[in-house]
Amino acid sequence: MEIEEYLHKMRDDWDERARRNARHFIVNGRSDWTEEDFYASGDQTVAQEILTDMTNICQGRDPRQMRVLELGCGAGRVTRALAKVFGEVHGVDVSPEMVRLAWSAVAGLPNAFIHQTDGATLTVLGDQRFDFAYSCCVFHHISSYDIIESYVREVGRRLPPQALFKFEVQGCTSVATNLGDTWLGVPFSLERAEQMAQECGFELRYHVGAGQECFWLWYFKR
C-alpha cells in the first residue's frame, strides 16, 4: 500500500469508528461512556500526564501564556481539559468526523481550536508556533514509521529550542504490523526512539514504558 492510499484509509477508518462509537475507540476500556464521564477522563489524563510534569512542560513560563499543540485530538476529550490549563490550545486530527465532535467538545472555550490535517503534515497550521506539544493514544495506531517521523519533524519545526514534545508510541517490539493497519501501530525499541529523536532535531531526555504498549517519550527540541 502506498503512503497516500494509507492516509486516505486512516481518515476513512477513523471516520467510521467515530460514527460507530467515538468514545469507545478513543478510550477503549469501555463502550458505554456518558458525556460527563468521557470528559472527566480527559481531566484525569491531564492530571496524570500534564499537571505532574509542569516543570518540563513550562520551564518557568506561566501556562496561561503558552500556546499548546495536541496531535491527534480525536473527539476533544483531552483538548478541552488542556484548555483549562493553558492559554491557547490547538488540536489536530485526520478524521473529519472526529474534528466535528472535537469542535462540539470545545464549544464555549474561546482559547481552543480544532483543525483537520492530511494525516502526515501540519500544513493546515500555517506558520503558527507552539510552546509545548502533546500526543496520547495516537502514534501506537499508525503502522508507518515514515508518517510518524513526518509528524515529529513537523512538530519540531514549530517548537523553539528546548521546548518539549511529549508523546507515546507502541513499545511492544514483539508486535508485527503491516502498512495499512490503522489500529495496531509500528513498534518502537528504545534505539529506534533515540534514532528518530536525533534525525528529527530532538533530544530524547526521558522515557517510560519501553517494551510496553504505551511507551512514553520526552523529546526536547535541540
Quick one: what percent of the chain has pLDDT higher than 90?
92
Task: Give the number of residues written for the chain.
Answer: 222
Express each pLDDT in 59-100 by its tens digit.
999 999 999 999 999 999 999 999 999 999 999 999 999 999
Domain ranges in the chain are 3-221
Residue position matching grid coordinates 520551564: 59
- Domain 3-221 class? alpha beta
Instruction: Tell me what pLDDT residue 28 has.
Output: 79
CA pair distance 57, 54, nearest whole angstrom:
5
Question: What is the DSSP secondary-structure string of 17-57?
Answer: HHHHHHHHHHSTT-S---HHHHHHHHHHHHHHHTGGGHHHH
Going by pLDDT thresholds of 50, 70 and 90, the confidence category of residue 101 is very high
pLDDT band at 30 (very low <50, low <70, confident <90, very high): confident
Residue 38's pLDDT band, with cuts at 50, 70 and 90, is very high
Alpha-carbon span 172 to 176, nearest angstrom: 9
Phi then psi for residue 51, to 5 deg, are: -65, -25
Sheet with 132-135: list strands edge to edge: 112-116, 88-93, 67-71, 132-135, 164-169, 215-221, 202-208
Q: Are 66 and 132 in contact (CB under 8 A)?
A: yes
221, β-bridge pairs? 202
Q: Examine the pLDDT at 134 and tell me if it is beyond 90.
A: yes
Q: Which residue has the higher pLDDT, 20 or 176?
A: 20
* End-to-end CA gap in the chain: 34
Q: How many Å apart are CA 19 and CA 24, to the nearest integer?
A: 11
H or E element in which residue 167 lies: strand 164-169
The pLDDT score that the predictor gives to residue 14 is 97
Grid look-up 510534569 returns 53
Q: What are phi and psi of 135, to 5 degrees?
A: -155, 130
Distance CA 163, CA 134 (A): 11
- Give the closest residue to 78 by CA, choosing from 53, 117, 48: 48
pLDDT of residue 174: 85
